[in-house]
Chain A
């Protein structure tokens, strides 16, 4: 059972325990033996959960070389589910284009100035809608790992500092990897330029796919642009915290911490046909022309799917 479920049950169990304790004391038992008897009243499930917590406190849990902690990820997953189902009412299509096992490189547009949630919602779509759900790893801007709490949180739920080296290593371990070639240029663009794909770097993701023989699955995400509409940015704040940019949104920083609540836009996620580059062989990664061509092909696919999904979405918020 997840720690969050334990927390939810704890008050009830405590009340049970106290009720039982009072009965026993009133029945003539001394407080200590009464406590012992009352302890047996603690529900089985809660006892199981406490055992899980004790096991974690002893360090007896799994963690891979990237710091991914499956127990922890499972415990925070309900938060992603809430955002997916209720907050953003995500509609996902083409989830079956994601390979059920083995390596795969998901390439998506990137948006959500203050905190990009697109990786978590793509992950949610695969976990909820795929016939064989699997947890994907995602490439995160290095800078995010310099922030306390966010750094350890990202690692535990499957975030990895963005680099071709890390992507190749993950793919060779047969993982599903998410990459956002636009990077900061995608998240940092003003609201007026929403859903207009930025440059795809130098096509590094294509080189990664060629070297590892992993299929590229283009993903178009609609809804992520409206969660924190970036109206302007503050150079002074950015310099103060060392961030690539600090956005000014309708709610942030005006409402303080409440400004961090993302707006409840309506999302659509489309997974496109996989592009299999396996036939080219790993040496094709040196072929600049091929790399640029594939990169452009993926970019155009995503841009086109963004337009169709925007047209299919009844409205941005309702």
Chain B
């Protein structure tokens, strides 16, 4: 069961781990000035993401969701981070990746939907949890640049 906010269905842009590392490499090879959004093309709603991942959702009224996550954030000492996550999981966000494609010259191989499908495929029969922690990201990065 994945708690969601009742009556809201945010759009998400989850990036494939392979694309995330490749984007970092591309940024090193072709440095550009300023902020560049690293995001896949397209977007996918949270409800469809959960359906593809075969996880039932548990809609919770958003004031309750917010207070629960804020309390969790306070306990973990990250407060504001969780507050931002609540807003993100209510409204979603879509960012434009045209600078990444045109200026850095890197186009993510998987779009938002393909990323979720790949994640769902790797997930079959396992519990939903982060597929990546900073350690594996560093390992991958080191492996890819060699």
A interface, CB within 8 angstroms of B:
56-59, 61, 63-67, 145-152, 155-156, 169
Contact = CB atoms under 8 A, between A and B. Distances in A.
Interface in B5-48: 5-9, 11, 41-45, 47-48
Nearest to B111: A65
A149 B90 CA distance: 11
Contacts of A58: 51-52, 54
Contacts of B49: 59
Nearest to A142: B91
12 contacts: A59-B51, A63-B45, A66-B11, A66-B94, A67-B11, A146-B91, A148-B61, A148-B62, A150-B7, A151-B8, A152-B9, A155-B45
Nearest to A165: B96
B100 interface: no
Given A58-B52, A59-B48, A59-B51, A67 B5 contact: no
B86 interface: no
Given A148-B7, A148-B8, A152-B8, A67 B45 contact: yes
Contacts of A169: 96
A76 to B, nearest CB: 15
A149 B53 CA distance: 23
Contact of B7 (A67, A151, A156): A151
Contacts of B62: 148
Given A145-B91, A148-B62, A61 B8 contact: no
A65 B112 contact: yes
A57 B52 CA distance: 8
Contacts of B44: 63
Interface residues of B, number: 26
Nearest to B49: A59
Nearest to A152: B9
A256 B48 CA distance: 34
A65 B51 contact: no
A65 B91 CA distance: 14
A49 to B, nearest CB: 18
Contacts of B92: 67
Nearest to B6: A148
A238 B91 CA distance: 22
B43 A67 contact: yes
B42 A61 contact: no
Contacts of A66: 11, 43, 94
B7 A65 contact: no
Nearest to B116: A59
Nearest to B50: A59
Interface string B117-131: 000000000000000
Contacts of B51: 56-59
B14 to A, nearest CB: 13
Given A59-B52, A59-B53, A148-B8, 17 more contacts: A56-B51, A58-B52, A59-B50, A63-B45, A63-B48, A65-B43, A65-B112, A66-B11, A67-B43, A145-B91, A148-B5, A149-B7, A151-B8, A151-B91, A152-B7, A155-B9, A169-B96
Most B CB atoms within 10 A — which of A61, A145, A148, A149? A148
Contacts of A146: 91
Contacts of A149: 7
Given A148-B6, A148-B62, A65 B11 contact: yes
B26 to A, nearest CB: 22
A152 B44 CA distance: 13
A155 B94 CA distance: 13
B15 to A, nearest CB: 14
Contact of A65 (B42, B47, B53): B42
Contacts of B9: 67, 151-152, 155-156
Interface in B49-108: 49-54, 61-62, 91-92, 94, 96
A61 B48 contact: yes
